[in-house]
Each structure stands twice: as structure tokens, then as C-alpha cells.
Amino acid sequence: MSSLRYAVIGMGAIGGFYGAKLARAGREVHFLSHSDYEYVLSHGLHITSCDGDFSLPHINAYGSPDEMPVADVVIVGLKTTNEHLLRTLLPPLLHPGTLVILIQNGIGVEADVQSWFPDLALAAGLAFICSAKTEPGHVHHQCYGSITLGNYSCRDEALFQTVLADFCDAGIDANEVDYLEARWRKAVWNMPFNGMTVALQTQTNQLLAHLATRQLIYEQMMEVIGAANALGVSALDESFAQKMMQMTDEMVPYSPSMRLDFDFHRPMEIHYLYTRPIAEARAAGFVMPRLEMLERELLFIDARNR
């Protein structure tokens, strides 16, 4: 067992789940909590999971990063609508060798964080999981749960591999993948399903059950794959879109994170999920017309919803 100290920023459906799995496996984990700080301090963290429920009656929970110890690994599960908060949340948790893993949606998040902290070791965490946090201190894990890690700027290969081993030891299906491929691989699912469940007020299963929307989802996936190819990611092709369609057919009816943000009148993650990848694809000479239309619809819906 490694002696790495972990910190989790954003104890929601993602950070709460992976942090809880690491803590249950005996790793030292410190959670930065916000809205449910008082609750988890008194009642702990509870995971309802398709793989088996478990509870952590006592966790290391904090209301401020200034109260937390420095960490060897910081897991960021914060929504990208709050990305600017990392400028103040991260510094108290860092020592010169800290690795920060951004388990966040979208394209370009590492580049922006690196611009704020030029010497910081960064990795992308791409979670393939259906989970939600709809009440204080309680994460509902519906299905899947694997994660891929892409090394963005970590020069300490031993540290990176130890983190992968810790995740696996905690019962998490974790693998390393090329950074750029990892980000665009996740976008193949995220860009169609997040926005479409909002625009059409539905869930994943209903989108795939109707012939017209099923075809549109597939065409949007192929736009993302085309953009990835234009940016140098050659490992993604039509077979991956087919795999994502099949995977979604087999999952439980699901409302992605953007749909939940819409339902609870929270800001939606449009910039990194749509605006940024669309712009990067255009700069590489590739246009995504279906997803550009969806982005504009989402901008309208988001402004009206708040």
C-alpha cells in the first residue's frame, strides 16, 4: 500500500465516489467540502452503488483548503464552471512534487490550469461512470466506474504509476492512455449526450430509442471523431462511435451531469464541453456543424434557465 496523501476538491458525484473508494481501501484522503460540509462532518459519506453499497462514517472533511494538509495528489472533481476557483483552492494543498488530476469534462482544462501554475504537474482523469449526488453526503453510483489517466505534464513517472496502482487497488478499473486521445475519447460521448438531454429534455435511453435522434447522436459522435483526427488523434474511428452507442444502449436510463445542472438551475459546462473543442477543431480546419448548432441552443437555454 502506498503512503501517498490524497486531497479531493469537489466532493460531488465524481470526487466523492473515487475519493471514497480510495479511503475505503486505506489511503489517506482529505476532502474539501462546500455545501454539505456540516452534514459529512457529522454523518460521513455514503455510496449507494451497483457494485455494493458502503459508508464511511468518519472522513477527513474540511470547509477551507487553508485547514487541509498539503497533498501528494490532488483530485479535482470541481465543475468547470468553477474552474477559476482553482487559483485560490489549489495553492494551500501543493508542495513542489504534487500531482493534480483534473477529473473534469471538456477540452482545454489542463492548458488553462497550467497557464496559472506553470510548474504544476498535471494529469487528466476521464471517468466513464454513471453517478449523481442529489442529497448531502450521498453519492448514487448507477453503473460503470472506470477511469483513464492521461499524463499532461507530470515528469515523475513513478508517482504517476503509483497513483494508477492505488486506484486499481481500491477496486477502480484504471488505465493509462495518451493525454490528447483520452480527452477526445471522452468527448465522443460527452458532447452528444450532455447537450441533447438538455435540449430535448430527455434521458440517454430515449434519445437512442427514437430512430431520428439515434442517427443524430451517431452523426454528432462522428463529428467529434473527425475533430480528434484533425488534431492528430488517430486511434479514434467509426468503430469507437459504434462502441459508445452500444455501451449507452446497455446502461441504465441516465441523466448526464449537464442535464442535472439544468434541472437544478445551475450554470452548465458549455465552454469546455462545446465552445473550446469547437474552436480547437476549427483552428485545425475541421467544422462540427451539428455540435455548433447544439452549442448555440445550449447558450440560449442556459441564459434563460438562470
Read off the pLDDT of each residue in 138-153 and give the average, rounded to a whole number. 94
Domain boundary among the residues 157, 177, 197 is at 177
Residue 2 has pLDDT above 90, yes or no: no
Q: Is the pLDDT of residue 1 over 80?
A: no
Rounded Cα gap, residues 21 and 16, in angstroms: 9
Query: Based on the structure, what is the number of domains in the chain?
Result: 2
| Whether residue 162 is found in the same domain as residue 204 | no
Burial class of residue 103 in the structure, from the number of CB atoms within 10 Å of its CB (0-12 exposed, 13-18 middle, 19+ buried) = buried
**The CATH number of the domain where 96 resides is what?**
3.40.50.720
User: Is residue 203 located within the same domain as residue 267?
Assistant: yes
Q: Which residues contact residue 170 at a Cβ distance below 8 angstroms, ignoring those fewer than 6 apart?
A: 21, 22, 24, 25, 27
Q: What is the residue range of 166's domain?
A: 5-177
Check whether residue 108 and residue 216 sit in a common domain: no
Q: Are residues 168 and 229 in the same domain?
A: no
Distance separating alpha carbons of residues 47 and 167, to the nearest angstrom: 17
Residues 42 and 156 in one domain: yes
pLDDT at 67 over 80: yes
3-class state of residue 216 by DSSP? helix
Catalytic residues: 186
In a shared domain, residues 169 and 200: no
Quick one: 71 and 153 in the same domain? yes
For residues 71 and 214, membership in a common domain is answered with: no
> Where among 145, 177, 209 does a domain terminate?
177
- Pair (171, 201) in one structural domain: no
Statement to judge: residues 12 and 43 lie in one domain:
yes
Give backbone dihedrals phi and psi of 56, rounded to 5 degrees, phi first. -115, 95
If you average pLDDT over residues 264-284, what whole number do you get? 97
Query: Are 247 and 123 found together in one domain?
Result: no
Which pLDDT belongs to residue 306?
Answer: 81
Q: What is the CATH number of the domain that holds 268?
A: 1.10.1040.10
Domain-ending residue, one of 161, 177, 193: 177
pLDDT at 131: 92
- Over 90: is that where the pLDDT of 134 sits? no
- When pLDDT is averaged across residues 101-117 and rounded to a whole number, the result is 97
Q: Are residues 154 and 197 in the same domain?
A: no
